[in-house]
A and B are shown apart, each in its own frame.
Chain A
Amino acid sequence: MEEKPEGVFTLFVAGGSSRSRTAIASLRQICAEHFPNDCDLTIVDVLKEPELAEEKNVLATPTLIREKPLPSVRLIGDLSDKVRLLAYLNLPSHQASEAKSQS
């Protein structure tokens, strides 16, 4: 059976604004650190694909929708606040996860 990616994220951004760049960078880091092998990350530029924003009823940019792991989570903002980001995604902070892997 094909292995399902562990993390499925869709990030809605508006063009190449600084907020978009910050959010993308932040999310890539999360993927690398917490889902190193299997992270499915889709970035939607609402300026190019407004119908996807309509489909998911997205109003704010950036908006992050985590479909996996469950429960799904919706976040809005440039994801620059790492502490809150990890808290809302219910992920351990990087240091904590390192400590866990060492033990």
Chain B
Amino acid sequence: MKTNTQIKGMEKLPTGIAGLDWVCDGGFPKNRTTLVCGTAGSGKTLFAAQFLAEGIQQTNESGLFVTFEESPDDIRNNVGSLGWNVPLWEKQKKWVFVNASPRMEEQVVGEYDLTAFLVRIEKAIKEVNAKRVVIDSLGAIFSQFTIETIVRRELFRIVNALKEMGITSMMTAERDTEYGRVSRHSVEEFVADNVIILRNVLDQERRRRTLEVLKLRGSSHQKGECPFTILPKTGLELMPISFIALEQKSTSKRIRSGKKEVDDMCGGGFFRDSIILVSGPTGTGKTLLASEFIMGGAKSGERSLYFAFEESHEQLSRNATSWGMDFDELEKTGKLKMVCCYPETANLEEHLINMKRVIEEFKPQRIAVDSLSALERTAIRRGFRDFVLCLTAFIKKQQIAGLFTSTSPSLLGGLSVTEAHISTITDSIILLRYLEMAGEMRRGITVLKMRGSKHDKEIREYTIDEKGLHIGAPVNKVTGILTGHLKYLSKEDALEMSMSESEA
């Protein structure tokens, strides 16, 4: 990860935690203390442990863990499941504990300071040549030593000592509410110039974890709450949303959609790095179009990844077979990978991270997501938009073409909620709609938007049979298709239409 040294101001230490260094514009301020505040269960201790673990694994920097609450054994066990072998690191002198977990009750007789604590910290730092220190948590110090003025004075001393030793440290502190004062005992006022808040908010019956950089003294950082998730194998991972858009290169290279008529309607195919949204009510052939997209890729020797959130692997293969496409063969030859799961099995953040992982492993040139609206069921509105933004940015950066499907709720006309949220994010929008014409349900396709290119503005009728999708002539004698209120332009047209039908 690249260090983003500020021209003027603070040097940064990359933490190595996925996404965090971007949010902090390079990492934590070097040789300084960063305070991490959060309510119970917000992930503070894990965050602290990860700060040390990433230091050891990525930059070979040793760390000291000062624990006031859990015993070192508890911490060793708890993070063991993340694949962090703390006992081994302790043997290798990369990790050391100062165990300040609760002991026998101490009575106060006269004045005291916490010199013994400071001395223990200094000794442990020297022992492993630590560059990173975490203290978990400050709230526990306040409950062990009840004279607040003494604790404040001593913490101030410790923070200064760490700074002089060239240590980049993280201290955790408790919060009482998700949106209230920064921390219990207002430690942020005297401990650190740098404050990060972890939240675990219940929003529309779902837990949403976010991280907010409240301040990083003397340096820039991203503002606002950034969603994150805690993964069973790798720990904390952030989803920086706005990273997006800015660094995307755009290409004028075209790829085949898999359907010549669709390519023509789009002015010569999709763009290599574009995101196409295919929207339509149930039964209009979205999955079919997505499958054509994959076949189109296979014909040009490209690898495709199919994320299915509505249908099982068997169903998809069977569908494809019925249209004359052999998905099983494509999978065997490594041209296709299908990932099928129910949206409810994970929250959106987890889905995103899983998808990113699969993409990184499989390295496809095309991705189909069928459907986005199924995923939307598991999300709160804001979270969903963030999800689409992140996914879009991620796949564009790798020059992957993405085709997302979205089910519109009404059979005739109308935009779905999904589209309303993400239509500005996608490069192209293809609408599939039912047309009620002369007492018959027909289907119409149109390219609503094609960023950076001319495209067919007409609505064309299409049919679906055992050979797939067939796009026909423009339906230019009716209006109101998109609104669902169809009107013939004139009586004669209506008559002609029904005449031609009876002929057919």
Contacts and interface: CB of A to CB of B under 8 A. Distances in A.
A46 B123 CA distance: 11
A10 interface: no
B7 interface: no
B290 interface: no
A22 B109 CA distance: 12
B116 A79 contact: no
B120 interface: yes
A74 B112 CA distance: 13
Interface string A52-80: 01100111111110000000111111111
B107 A73 contact: yes
A57 B123 contact: no
Contacts of B119: 14, 46-47, 50, 53
Interface residues of B, number: 26
B116 A77 contact: no
Q: At the interface, is chain B mostly helix, strand, loop or mixed?
A: mixed
A38 interface: no
Contacts of B116: 12, 14, 46, 50, 53, 58-61, 63
A98 interface: no
Contacts of B120: 46, 50, 53-54, 59
Interface residues of A, number: 32
A74 B104 CA distance: 7
Contacts of B144: 59
B112 A60 contact: yes
Nearest to B101: A57
B122 to A, nearest CB: 8
A3 interface: no
A74 B110 contact: no
A47 B101 CA distance: 21
Contacts of A88: 107, 109
A59 B100 contact: yes
B314 interface: no
B109 A60 contact: no
A84 B101 CA distance: 26
B101 to A, nearest CB: 8
Interface string A81-97: 10011001000000000
A33 interface: no
A12 B114 CA distance: 11
B109 A80 contact: yes
Interface in B256-307: none
Contact of B111 (A14, A19, A54, A63): A19
Given A50-B123, A54-B123, A59-B144, A76 B115 contact: no
A71 to B, nearest CB: 10
A78 B112 contact: yes
Contacts of A58: 116
Contacts of A77: 108-112
Nearest to B144: A59
B113 A81 contact: no
A100 to B, nearest CB: 23
Interface of A: 12, 14, 19, 22-23, 46-47, 50-51, 53-54, 57-64, 72-81, 84-85, 88
Ranked nearest first, the 5 interchain pairs of A and B with the lowest CB-CB distance are A77-B110, A14-B115, A78-B110, A59-B117, A80-B110
